[in-house]
Amino acid sequence: MPIPKPNLYPPFNIVRLSHVDYTVTDLAKSRAFYADLLGLQVTAEDGEAVYLRAMEERGHHSVVLRQGKEPSVGALSLKLYCEEDLDRAKDYFEERQLPAEWVERPYQGRTLRARDNFGTPLELYFRMDRLPPIHQKYALYHGVKPLRIDHFNCFSPDVDASVEFYSAMGFRVTEYTEDDESKRLWAAWLHRKGGVHDMAFTNGKGPRLHHAAFWVPTPLNIIDLLDLMSTTGYLANIERGPGRHGISNAFFLYLRDPDGHRIEIYCSDYQTVDPDLEPIKWDLKDPQRQTLWGAPAPRSWFEEGSLFLDTEVQEPLLKAQPIIAP
């Protein structure tokens, strides 16, 4: 199916992705993973939640960890351009008979909780508490030295429908994988901020969160993290990599946190700000699309993901499958 034309004048203006809200079963273990191992900075905490940000981020948080009985994802959050865009967004979702309601969130202004066409919980806001810059406080850098949250990747039961929905909100496709037989999308990468993606969709049971990704300065930071994980009891948390994707050109590493939530550590993609940039097409049977070099992805990478809170999962329409490691 053809890629939708980009909507350069969407009904409301999404600036970028903002943060992910995880439910975790042991708050202390998760805090140790994200703060002590990865190197995110704790900005607030109590007995029920921990808020963290990366080194370049001025917003209060890009990760929220909440204590709960079962691991899940509460919401994926997006920052809007202005306060008025919040009202436009509410009208937009309601016109499409999709849930949209105002909710209270700590450290944020007005926040709209909505769901996309498959039920993925989204939270949209304009104002978040701003914190002093710490990107030049080099004594704070540790772990993998994460600079900023970069993107989300979600399993979708119908990638064509997901791409159509997000394209209408102003997301632009940068790269995509097409199944040659059905001519349907198996995966697609879409952006708002001028990188390869803020949001990506992979064919599979969904909606589920495949991973959230953090940008780091260099591939050497990833190598340092691997050395650290292998000698501090986290060797089993390494799922895939290091390697380089064909799609996005990213140097990558995939980890699983104590509850199985998948985190990608990521660098080396490219600029996509031109509004007339043509998407790059990949064939599903091309092994270099997922791994330009490095070991093939394991079966867990294609099949396992984090459930969204109170969200029904559907079987995928497309049954095609890329190469899986034995």
For the segment 58-104, what is each residue's pLDDT rounded down to a tens digit?
Answer: 999 999 999 999 999 999 999 999 999 999 999 999 999 999 999 99
* Residue 265: Cβ within 10 Å count: 27
* CA 50/CA 278 separation, integer angstroms: 40
For 124-157, what is the HEC assignment?
A: EECCECECCCCCCCHHHCCCCCCCEEEEEEEEEC
Residue 52 confidence (pLDDT): 98
Q: What is the CB neighbour count within 10 angstroms for residue 163? A: 25
DSSP letter assigned to residue 205: S
Pair of tokens at residue 205: 């049971």
- C-alpha distance from residue 178 to each of 7, 80, 173, 191 (Å): 21, 31, 13, 18
pLDDT of residue 198: 98
Contact 290, 238 (CB under 8 A): no
Q: Specify whether the CB–CB gap between 30 and 22 falls below 8 A.
A: yes
Cis omega (within 30 of 0) on the bond before 207? yes
Dump strand ranges (E) for the chain. Answer: 14-24, 41-45, 49-53, 63-67, 72-80, 100-103, 111-115, 121-125, 148-156, 172-178, 185-191, 199-203, 208-215, 238-244, 251-256, 262-267, 280-283, 306-307
pLDDT of amino acid 324: 67
pLDDT at 320: 73
Q: Which two tokens stand for residue 102?
A: 């105002």
pLDDT single digits (tens) 45-63 = 999 999 999 999 999 999 9
Low-confidence ranges of the chain (pLDDT < 50): none
DSSP structural state of residue 235: G
pTM of structure: 0.96
pLDDT at 287: 86
For the chain, domains (ranges, CATH) are 14-129 (3.10.180.10), 146-307 (3.10.180.10)
